[in-house]
Amino acid sequence: MDGEIGLGMVGVGSWGANLLRNFAAQEDARVRWICDVDERMLARRQRTCPGASITTSLDDVLNDPQVNAVVIATPAPEHFSCAWAALEAGKHVFVEKPLTLRACEAERLANAADCRGLKLMVGHLLRHHPVVEYVRRLIDAGELGDIRYAYTQRVNLGIVRSNENAWWSLAPHDISVICYLFDAVPERVSVQGRCFLQPGVEDLAFGMLHFADGRVAHIHVSWLDPYKIRRLTLVGTQKMLAFDDMEAAEKVRLYDKGAHIRQETTSYAEAVQVRSGDVLIPKVDLSEPLQRECRRFIQAIREDGSVLSDGWSGVEVVRILEAGSESLRRGGIAVALEEIAVRRTPQEETPALVGANQE
């Protein structure tokens, strides 16, 4: 596509402000509209981007033929209707995570984008993190051996939300990264959580993704925690790795550590051989993931290229989230992903945003 790409920003609250700043900085794109149902928010955001028109109506954005793409950062319950309307109007769409609250709705969006030849990108920010891409290259090169398991922690104090629980709010990032690094989708998902502050809204969740080949990944999310932690640990048969996104520069540590059982020995003490070698802190690209994400969306439109975190990856994440919600509702028993794919009629759908545990 030649010429400037016209953008409409829909939902410009706290995260939308970051997207606005980054998209407004793209040289070959122009923010034409800023849309939010809150007029005071509109007035504030227009200061970031004085050239843009403001509106409380999505129709104004969609009716402008010079708008090629719409960026949606409304609360999650609004994602489906806004994205659907934008695709129907023939616009490319960037939508924040989670893509939707139902896997069947996510599928409709992904299909609609494919049928119309439009780009649909989901804000799985960490998929654009240079460290995540670096870790994937290490795995592909066999540096860690076979991955045995992973665990992530995404905890801090606040933002406490009321229209989604900590699982839906925080876990999409970890789920998208784990599926990418494992190059697989889990077979079953189990989640336990607790609601401390608001009835029916889990502030804390411990999720487990079970993969068909025996690998597992544990996800701990909470907005009620004294620490701000953003960490991923991977344990492979050859090496182990920790990615700490709170570190300013030394984000990755590669441990030459492992253990294996020697078959030929007689005593247990002799059989377990533990290796504790060097720790490497590799130099990694520290460019900002959000900048990369926004740039890649614009590039995909301009070059008619593929989208990295596309609608189908959004479907995958929503299915896992939905299976997790169902597991929460059933008290933590594992739920097969298959169950989610086939639950399509409205009567059969369960409330996805929050589970049922109350404390």
Ligand X SMILES: NC(=O)c1ccc[n+]([C@@H]2O[C@H](COP(=O)([O-])OP(=O)(O)OC[C@H]3O[C@@H](n4cnc5c(N)ncnc54)[C@H](O)[C@@H]3O)[C@@H](O)[C@H]2O)c1
84 binds ligand X (CB under 6 A): no
- Nearer Cβ to ligand X, position 231 or 239? 231
- Which H or E run contains 18? helix 14-24
* Stretch of 30-38, 108-116, 135-143, 147-155 lying at the interface with ligand X (CB under 6 A): 30-38
Q: Is 240 helix (H, G, I), strand (E, B) or coil?
A: strand
- Least CB distance from residue 323 to ligand X, whole Å? 19
With beta carbons less than 8 A apart as the criterion, state whether 207 and 159 touch: no
**Phi/psi at 291 (nearest 5 deg)?**
-60, -45
For ligand X, the binding residue among 28, 64, 78, 143 (CB under 6 A) is 78
- Nearer Cβ to ligand X, position 235 or 353? 353
- Nearer Cβ to ligand X, position 171 or 240? 171
With beta carbons less than 8 A apart as the criterion, state whether 90 and 118 touch: yes
For ligand X, the binding residue among 29, 54, 67, 73 (CB under 6 A) is 73
- Least CB distance from residue 293 to ligand X, whole Å? 8
- Nearer Cβ to ligand X, position 163 or 237? 163
Question: Exposure of 198 by Cβ count < 10 A (0-12 exposed, 13-18 middle, 19+ buried)?
Answer: middle
- Least CB distance from residue 179 to ligand X, whole Å? 16
What CA–CA distance (Å, rounded) separates 107 from 113? 10
* Stretch of 9-17, 187-195, 208-216, 230-238 lying at the interface with ligand X (CB under 6 A): 9-17
DSSP state of 296: H
- Least CB distance from residue 270 to ligand X, whole Å? 49
* Stretch of 33-41, 86-94, 258-266, 326-334 lying at the interface with ligand X (CB under 6 A): 33-41
For ligand X, the binding residue among 9, 24, 34, 35 (CB under 6 A) is 35
Total residues contacting ligand X by CB under 6 A comes to 23
- Nearer Cβ to ligand X, position 3 or 13? 13
- Nearer Cβ to ligand X, position 80 or 255? 80
Q: Edge-to-edge strands of the sheet including 147-157?
A: 272-280, 252-261, 240-244, 224-236, 147-157, 216-222, 204-210, 188-194, 335-336
10 binds ligand X (CB under 6 A): yes
Residue 219's nearest CA partner among 160, 264, 154 is 154
- Least CB distance from residue 126 to ligand X, whole Å? 8
- Least CB distance from residue 309 to ligand X, whole Å? 10
What single letter denotes the amino acid at residue 235?
V
Longest dimension (CA), the chain: 77
For ligand X, the binding residue among 6, 8, 16, 311 (CB under 6 A) is 16
Cα angle vertex 248, ends 278, 153, to 5°? Answer: 75
* Stretch of 8-16, 188-196, 266-274, 318-326 lying at the interface with ligand X (CB under 6 A): 8-16
What CA–CA distance (Å, rounded) separates 159 from 170? 10
From residue 97 to residue 136, the character string flagging contacts with ligand X as x (rule: CB under 6 A) and all else as - is: x-------------------------x-x-----------
Q: Looking at 213-293, which runs of residues are DSSP E strands?
A: 216-222, 224-236, 240-244, 252-261, 272-280
Q: Edge-to-edge strands of the sheet including 29-35?
A: 53-55, 29-35, 5-10, 69-72, 92-96, 120-123
314 binds ligand X (CB under 6 A): no
174 binds ligand X (CB under 6 A): no
How far apart, in Å, are the Cα atoms of 10 and each of 7, 19, 117, 182, 323? 10, 10, 22, 33, 29
39 binds ligand X (CB under 6 A): no
Residue ranges binding ligand X (CB under 6 A): 10-16, 35-38, 41, 58, 73-76, 78, 96-97, 123, 125, 169
